[in-house]
A = this chain, B = another copy of it.
Amino acid sequence: MESKNRSHCPVTYALDLIGDKWSLLMLRDIILFDKKYYHEFTQSLEGISTNILANRLAMLEGNGILLKVRDEQDKKRFIYSPTEKGLDLLPVIISMVLWSAKYDADTVAPLDEIKKIEQDPAAFMNKVRSKFSGEKMPDPVAL
């Protein structure tokens, strides 16, 4: 499932793929909180409906941001992981986190962690990326 691009302005292109209230939250869960399974997203995402969740997962997979592979341990379920294109959205997520930590008086962002990210965002992103670099990337599943 591809999104229709309104234009090829680089802001528009990004917004056409991840400019909604859920896609980056799903990436947050997958990249930062190590979620992998459909049922984990339904539990952790703030009140997402299952049809929106299924739609966004398919969109993110279709646009090469997530990879969906069958779980070898339990063949009835699938594992979602970020592609390189998905991991490259980390700077977008991080810049949102820093902005919210500055402006949301009720933020739950841990301040010592925020300071570390501000001081050296590259180090933080490398640490996050290293969680995925060792993974064998299996062939995508034919649906």
Q: Is A25 an interface residue (CB 8 A)?
A: yes
* Chain A residues with a Cβ closer than 8 Å to the other chain, count: 43
Q: Is A50 an interface residue (CB 8 A)?
A: no
Q: What's the Cα separation between A102 and B85 when bound, in Å? A: 9
What's the minimum C-beta distance from A56 to chain B, rounded to whole angstroms?
12
A99: chain B residues within 8 A (beta carbon): 10, 14, 88-89, 91-92
* CB closest residue in chain B, given A6: B46
Pair A10/B96 contact, Cβ less than 8 Å:
yes
Which of B12, B25, B93, B108 touches A8 (beta carbons < 8 Å)?
Answer: B108
Q: Is A42 an interface residue (CB 8 A)?
A: no
Pair A109/B12 contact, Cβ less than 8 Å:
no
Chain A residues in the interface with B (C-beta under 8 A): 5-16, 19-22, 24-25, 28, 46-47, 64, 85, 88-89, 91-104, 106-109
